[in-house]
Copies of this chain bind each other. A is one copy, B any other.
Amino acid sequence: MSDTNTADEEGIRPGEIAMDLPEEFDAGVYFIGRIRTPWASRKECPHRGEIDGPVCTIEVDPRWQAALEGIEGRERLLVLYWMGLARRDIVLQRPRRKDRLAGAFALRSPVRPNPIAAAVVRLEAVEGRFLKVRGLDCVDGTALVDIKPEFSPAERKCDEAEGP
């Protein structure tokens, strides 16, 4: 990594642009559970999750357990989670290992106005309110925001015709 890609103490790299954030939020998010992974810090996390990566555990809070009804048998899920460690104001960024600036919306970086990550995972098992999945890339303890079934185009047609 070159010097120009080293962030300063505030986490800004040369050429990056930080915006003033709005004074108020427009909506609120509930954390609905936690994600358990083998990675204790951001440094240890893979650059991006792999569908055949290690098994991680999604722990859904007891309050929301009924919302898992019918999830067993789904092959792939879209998981949304909250990357709460990241700055939200850096719109133009210098990605690590890259030599040019790019906007937050052109990157999968955790640094973005709303630090919501999205990962497609493979569902391996459902044990009560715990889901065993492969394909995540986040720090152990990351807050869970949503779980949705993920369909391939062929599955979508099928689901519209007959599935729940």
Binds B, one of A5-13, A27-35, A37-45: A27-35
**With the chains together, A163 CA to B4 CA distance in Å?**
18
Q: In the bound complex, do residue A105 and residue B147 qualify as a contact, i.e. CB atoms below 8 Å apart? A: yes
Residues of B within 8 A of A64 (CB): 19, 91, 104-105, 113
This chain's copy number in the assembly: 2
Interface residues of A in 38-97 (CB under 8 A from B): 47-48, 51, 60, 63-64, 66-71, 74, 78, 80, 82, 84, 88, 91-92, 95
Instruction: Determine if A125 is an interface residue (Cβ-Cβ < 8 Å).
Output: no
Do residues A107 and B28 form an inter-chain contact, with CB atoms below 8 A? Answer: no
Q: How far is the CA of A143 from the CA of B21 in the complex (A)?
A: 17
List 10 other contacts, CB 8 Å, given A26-B28, A27-B28, A27-B143: A21-B30, A22-B30, A26-B31, A67-B92, A67-B113, A68-B106, A69-B92, A70-B107, A105-B146, A116-B146
